[in-house]
Amino acid sequence: MRIALFEPEIAGNVGAVLRLGACLDVPVDLIEPLGFLWDDARVRRTAMDYIDHVAITRHADWPAFHASIGAARLVLLTTKGSVSAYDFVFRPDDVLLFGKESAGAPPHVHAACEGRIRLPMKRDVRSLNLAMSAGLAVGEALRQTGGLPG
């Protein structure tokens, strides 16, 4: 199981996802360009010392990331998904992909994903925070696949 962030824009969100990855023992892929400098203090402030306990891979762009995943299944979390994350059947080698905060994922990224799933929520709100979405989705994926630590 991996978490991948497509062109994330908010340093604090990335820091929170890195902390999530550390706590759940899930590697995190960052697909550049980032919307902030990597040495932005807000990343470390949110991730705290947990950043030292997560495997982080930075990819120069989408093609570099896509080439790196081999046969792993890409599962995109999107408000446009037709299947709930709680009805989707996860596999242990899935890569859970999250789009950028302001615009989600572009059509070519959607097209590359085998699964496009959503998190259920009230109709009159747009979306959850990126880190919150990652926590809910990864928690469910690990629960289903028996990968929760401890």
Across 16-38, average pLDDT: 95
Q: CB-based contacts of 116: which residues, under 8 Å, 6+ apart? A: 75, 76, 78, 80, 81, 82, 83, 110
Residue-averaged pLDDT of the chain: 94
What is the pLDDT at residue 40? 63
In angstroms and rounded to an integer, the radius of gyration of the C-alpha atoms of the chain is 14
What is the pLDDT at residue 126? 81
Distance of CA 37 to the CA centre of its chain: 19
Predicted TM-score (pTM) of the model is 0.95
According to CATH, the superfamily of the domain at 2-145 is SPOUT methyltransferase, trefoil knot domain (3.40.1280.10)
Residue 18, pLDDT > 80, answer yes
Across 125-148, average pLDDT: 95
Integer Cα distance of 119 and 83 in angstroms: 9
What is the pLDDT at residue 89? 98
Break the chain into its structural domains and give their ranges: 2-145
